Amino acid sequence: MVAIPFLKGHGTENDFVLLPDPDGDLDLTASRVQALCDRQRGLGADGVLRVVRTKALPDAPAGSDGDVWFMDYRNADGSVAEMCGNGVRVFARYLSDAGLVDGPEFPVGSRAGVRPTTVHPDGTVTVGMGRVRLLGNSTTTVTGTTHTGLGVDVGNPHLVSVVDSVAELDLTAQPGFDREFFPHGVNLEFIETIGPAEIRMRVHERGVGETRSCGTGTVAAAAAALAAQGRTTGAVTVHIPGGTVHVTIDEDTSTLTGPASFVAEGTLTDSWWNSYA
Ligand SMILES: N[C@@H](CCC[C@H](N)C(=O)O)C(=O)O
């Protein structure tokens, strides 16, 4: 029997299965991702983070440094996404704790580009999330009510709508959105203003459903909250159901700081893995 190692972790309760796979040996099919993320027949998670060297990726972004660790992120439905802001903190903390990187500052590759990360002594992680692009207005419909929001690209697509109270929303079903505006789907954030630099957020994630946090979503939400004040830069504290993160938005980059925690580590059995092709 071959045992496949895994870790289970979360960032503000957005939870992940990590699969260390430095040489890219695992055949990580959509069916295996779905099974791993299933909370009855698998380990249960919002997504999977495969830990692989960039040089072991057949579709590595052109010109990338082969020795950089690459976060191969998958949503719970098996789809591939460009970036995961909570996942990249958990990923960075794993690399640091496992001694796979030198020092507390190192880059992490993703399909949205290379992201600089810093693991702090208290275990929190700051990630350079790159430039945030505002895409203009679009709409989303939740239980029959249509909200106008601001489209935001953080490497992956978001639509952020300001509402009076996030507690009132029912996000159990997929909200409607404009499929011409977002041909590849969209993460839908809803924010409530607490103060000029503090918001509350809930999210319905593309490829997952409602989650207790979305890191890229908090960056998009911060940019939208600032835009609502006529600002393009600033610092925003974002409260999500799973905790609190801190975001800064500058003209040409952004940062996300928040916790990264591990719950368990173990091994998958070969028979379980092989029952999903
Ligand atoms: N939970 C993530 C975002 C994961 C990807 C997203 N669902 C998408 O499809 O774009 C985060 O913390 O950013």
- pLDDT reported for residue 277: 92
169 in ligand 1 pocket by Cβ < 6 Å?
A: no
CA of 247 to the centre of ligand 1 (A): 16
**SS3 of 244, please?**
strand
- pLDDT reported for residue 166: 98
**Residue 156 assigned as binding residue:** yes
In the predicted model, is pLDDT for residue 1 greater than 80? no
**Residue 137 assigned as binding residue:** no
- pLDDT reported for residue 63: 78
In the predicted model, is pLDDT for residue 251 greater than 80? yes
Q: Which contacts (CB < 8 Å, 24+ apart) does range 130-137 have?
A: 130/154, 130/155, 130/253, 130/254, 131/252, 131/253, 131/254, 132/219, 132/220, 132/223, 132/249, 132/254, 134/223, 134/227, 135/181
Ligand 1 atom with least separation from CA of 185: 9
Interface predicted TM-score (ipTM) over 0.85: yes
Q: Which residue CA neighbors atom 1 of ligand 1 most closely?
A: 214
User: Active-site positions?
Assistant: 84, 214
**Residue 215 assigned as binding residue:** yes
Instruction: Give residue for tokens 């996300």.
Output: 256
CA of 157 to the centre of ligand 1 (A): 9
Substitution site in 156, 177, 256 for ligand 1 pocket (most atoms within 8 Å of beta carbon): 156
Name the domain count of the chain: 2
What domain range is 165 assigned to?
Answer: 133-252
205 touches 187 (CB < 8 A): yes
Q: What is the pLDDT of residues 72-107, one digit of tens each?
A: 999 999 999 999 999 999 999 999 999 999 999 999
Does 81 share its domain with 16? yes
Does 183 share its domain with 234? yes
Residues recorded for the chain: 277
**Residue 206 assigned as binding residue:** yes
Q: Cα separation of 258 and 237, whole Å?
A: 10
86 in ligand 1 pocket by Cβ < 6 Å?
A: yes
DSSP letter assigned to residue 241: T
DSSP letter assigned to residue 114: -
Q: What is the pLDDT of residues 145-183, one digit of tens each?
A: 999 999 999 999 999 999 999 999 999 999 999 999 999
Does 77 share its domain with 188? no
Q: What is the pLDDT of residues 183-238, one digit of tens each?
A: 999 999 999 999 999 999 999 999 999 999 999 999 999 999 999 999 999 999 99
Q: Cα separation of 34 and 98, whole Å?
A: 26
Does 123 share its domain with 11? yes
Does 111 share its domain with 20? yes
In the predicted model, is pLDDT for residue 133 greater than 70? yes
Does 16 share its domain with 113? yes
What is the rounded average pLDDT of the residues 4-25?
Answer: 98
Q: What is the CATH number of the domain that holds 228?
A: 3.10.310.10
State the pTM of this model. 0.98
Does 143 share its domain with 120? no
Ligand 1 atom with least separation from CA of 46: 1
Substitution site in 16, 184, 189, 214 for ligand 1 pocket (most atoms within 8 Å of beta carbon): 214
Instruction: Give residue for tokens 């810093």.
Output: 118
Instruction: Give the confidence band of 64 by pLDDT, cuts at 50, 70, 90.
Output: confident
Does 85 share its domain with 171? no
Q: 225: which 2 tokens?
A: 């909250």
